Structure 1
Amino acid sequence: MPASSCIILGSRSPRRLELLSSIVNPEQIRVVPPENSSEAGFEDLTAAGVIEDQLRRIVSRKQQDVVRQLEYETTDDIDARILIADTIVVAQRDGVAKQRGVVAQNRGVLAQTQSGDPMSQLIVLGQPAEPNWQADVRDWFRNLLSGTSHSVWTHFQLVRFTRKSTSCQHTRLADQTVRSEVTFIELDDSVIEWYISTEESRGKAGGYAIQGKGAALVCGLSGSLTNVIGLPVREVAAAIHR
């Protein structure tokens, strides 16, 4: 793989690797995940702007982690682009979006939250916590996701990294948040228990995978499907080929 043309994916996610491989020759992709897997949380963050700032900081720290690894690995010259992304599920905390049968209104509420309405109360759903992940999924599905809409945000950064002899430089090429909106069907307990039994919720933001059996829970999508899966392919491709 020529070092001068590679894309370095700073992620452990097989889904992101698969999506990136759909727009970049797999032979040009090198995976260098961040060494530090711990990251800041979103506890007590309820405003859209604050949540987005935290998401951007998380991605920036991962990018810095990968850059440090590249700076210290070898003395070979390299001219590559580093791609880092992180995805979160953002739901309504205060129950405004839980009014049944008013999907259009739900979409309007989410549009307000995305524009940074300070009155909006949001909650970020990460991966359900082990070992009792089932309890998180039941709570989220029953009280936050059933019969309503939520947002999925992916923030990505693309950085050019060059190393010649002992001199290293990195320049940010893209720094963008992409949002999609997902609407769930009404989830009764039998559907929730069926989905939990598949164990697909484990390790998934929001407790579901739209690219898998979780598609059975979805009745509407506005925006990029690949963004919900973990990488907004159209926007990333535009940044890479810009």
Structure 2
Amino acid sequence: MIELPRGFRLVLASGSPRRSDLLTGAGLEFEVRPADIDETPLDGESPIEYVRRLSIGKAVEVVRPTEVVIAADTTVEVDGAILEKPIDADDARRMLRLLSGRAHHAHTGVTVAAPGHVDTIVVSTAVTFVELTDEMIDWYVATGEADDKAGGYGIQGAAAAFVERADGSVTNVIGLPLAETVAMLRRVCATVTPLSVD
């Protein structure tokens, strides 16, 4: 699907198995090299600014010569507040109660970088949950799915039963808007000068 510039390799700057699965499903071969940056939100930073900044920071931290890097960061926004990964089961329950019976937004910042090239977008998807009872929330938290997911849920797992509707990219809610990422990858690869053959 994607032809990398001659002599270049593709790197995913994320340890997320969900992002790896999405890229593998699109037929891409890549190395996984998670970025290690401070993900603390800045004072007054909007959720969209937050994911954009982190995706750029991750890409820039990881990229090396002869590499094309994909970096991403996803957050869930409700009432203007950033919902990151829950710190424990009680925090996951708190998040799910906030999301119950209403719409929220999943934002993913994606950056594709190569030496001298950086392309960044933010994709947003509106997700509406059904009303959640305490029993439904307790059941979901007990599955363990909430533990490492922004907003305390994964749309690709058991929480799909909570989703009344999703307006926009579903892969974005999973953690990587695939169509947009592939388009960015094509653009960046087209601008990179392939290595010469001696």
TM-score range, shorter chain: 0.7 to 0.9
In structure 2, runs of 5+ residues without a counterpart are: 188-198
Cα distance in 1 between the residues matched to 2:127 and 2:145: 18
CA distance in 1, matches of 2:178, 2:144: 27
Q: CA deviation at 1:79?
A: 2.9
1:66 to 37, 59, 62: 62
Name which of 117, 127, 135 aligns with 1:171: 117
| Deviation by residue 1:54-91 (Cα, 9 ceiling, x = unmatched) | 22222222122213xx3xxxxxxx53311110000001
| Structure 2 residue matching 1:182: 3-state secondary structure | strand
Paired with 2:117 and 2:81, the residues of 1 have a C-alpha distance of: 33
Q: Which residue of 2 aligns with 1:31?
A: 32
How many equivalent pairs are there?
Answer: 184
Which whole-Å deviations, capped at 9, do the CAs of 1:169-212 have from their partners, x for residues lacking one? Answer: x311x210001111101001111111111111101100001101
Mark the structure with the bigger radius of gyration: 1
Q: Which runs of 5+ in 1 are unaligned?
A: 71-77, 93-121, 162-169
Contact 2:107 2:172 in 1 (8 A): yes
One-letter amino acid of the counterpart of residue 100, structure 2: S
User: CA contact under 8 A between 2:12 and 2:69: conserved in structure 1?
Assistant: yes
Q: Distance in 2 between matches of 1:214 and 1:186?
A: 13
Distance 1:216 1:82 in 2: 34
Of residues 4, 8, 12 in structure 1, which corresponds to 2:11? Answer: 8
- Aligned match of 2:196: none
Give RMSD over aligned pairs: 2.0
Answer yes or no: is the 8 Å Cα contact 1:40–1:58 preserved in 2: no
Distance of 2:136 and 2:50 partners within structure 1? 33
What percentage of aligned pairs have identical amino acids? 37
Aligned to 1:203: 148
Name 2:190's counterpart in structure 1: none
Report the counterpart of residue 83 of structure 1 in structure 2.
Answer: 70
Q: Does the 8 A contact of 1:155 with 1:178 survive in 2?
A: yes
Conservation of the 8 A alpha-carbon contact between 1:3 and 1:80: no
